[in-house]
Amino acid sequence: MTESGLPIRVFRCDGSKRIHHEGPHAHRFFVMVYAARGVCRVRTGGGELELRAGDLHLLFPGEPHDPVPVEGYEAWVVEFTTDALGTHDGPGYFGSAGGRPRWVGFLRGCDVSSRRVPVQCARRDVIERTIRDLARELDEGALAHREAARAHLQLLLVEVLRMVAPAQTPAALSPLVEEVLAVIDARYAESISLASVARAVGRSPAHVTHVVRQQTGLTVVEWITERRMEEARRRLRDTDEDVAIVAERIGYRSTNHFIRQFRRAHDLTPGAWRRTRSEPPGV
């Protein structure tokens, strides 16, 4: 997403033009919007939200939305993937279980993407300052800027977690969804599909599609692609394997198809993404 090689992008927008496509669309990354002033309306699958100064909105990957710009509106936008924070097995909201960060499940359980999150007046300066600091780290590329950027993003998410936390912790993903994700995690490098995943868990493709989409916001095919992209990033970053070899080892028979999928998810070809990750810190 950025020249730093981190899957994080920060920018300021106003009502003079659209950020992405016109009409309903979705992304393969998270989108956090913090309204600084004015009013913006965002059409989502659950209706229309009106964001005013001090409101925050977080969209999950795969969720259709259509922001309607209003003159006088200004906002900060932070786009990122789970890779931006790194993953580690262990306790805590930023630890993971089965390769999935707990903060993702927590926020999804809070249904945060279907509502605006009003930021208390006392925390608004903190939110905006943290976003500005994140943007500065990405822009300046100083020593250890990647580590600093991750830290600022994590602080932002902590603020969101605290604002939306209910009295009781939301329910975890259902056993069926856990099983589907486990099958994908074990077999993503094979020639798998919705039908083969459904057979593996003993349910119909239609039922699996409904439950997985309802609880995670992504389809089974999108989860397969996401898992393949995660492994592609790891191999591009940690090995010197040729792009064609990477494609083959993550389940793509066609290198060109892999390149198209990777560009769609990252706005860069695999080769260009690898070059950004190979730059020494501070470049």
Could you tell me if 43 and 24 are in contact, meaning their C-beta atoms sit under 8 angstroms apart? yes
Rounded Cα–Cα distance for residues 276 and 280 (Å):
9
Spatial contact of 9 and 106, defined as CB atoms under 8 Å apart: no
SS3 152: helix
pLDDT tens for each residue of 176-189 = 988 998 899 899 99
Q: Which two tokens stand for residue 235?
A: 């191999």
Looking at residue 128, what is its pLDDT? 94
Amino acid 170: pLDDT: 47
What pLDDT score does 254 carry? 95
Residue 75 to residue 68: CA distance in whole angstroms: 13
The mean of the pLDDT values for the chain is 83
User: Is pLDDT larger for residue 62 or for residue 99?
Assistant: 62
In this prediction, residues 232-251 reach a mean pLDDT of 92
Over residues 73-86, the pLDDT tens digits come to 889 999 998 888 87
Two tokens, residue 238 = 């940690």
Region 61-78: mean pLDDT is 81
The structural domains of the chain, ordered by start, are: 8-164 (2.60.120.280), 175-277 (1.10.10.60)
Residue with tokens 């939200």: 49
User: Distance (Å, rounded) from C-alpha 101 to C-alpha 103?
Assistant: 6
259 against 173, higher pLDDT: 259
Query: What three-state secondary structure class fits 45?
Result: coil
Q: What is the mean pLDDT of residues 80-97?
A: 74
For residue 198, pLDDT over 80 is answered with yes
Half-sphere exposure of residue 112: CA atoms within 13 angstroms, side-chain side? 31
Q: Between 37 and 18, where is the model more confident?
A: 37
159 contacts: CB under 8 Å, gap ≥ 6: 119, 123, 126, 127, 130
Strands 55-59 and 30-37 turn out to be antiparallel
4 phi, psi to nearest 5 deg: -70, -15
Q: What does the pLDDT average to over 136-161?
A: 93
Q: What is the pLDDT of residues 246-267, one digit of tens each?
A: 999 999 999 999 999 998 877 7
Residue 88 has a pLDDT of: 62
Q: Check whether 4 has a pLDDT greater than 70.
A: no
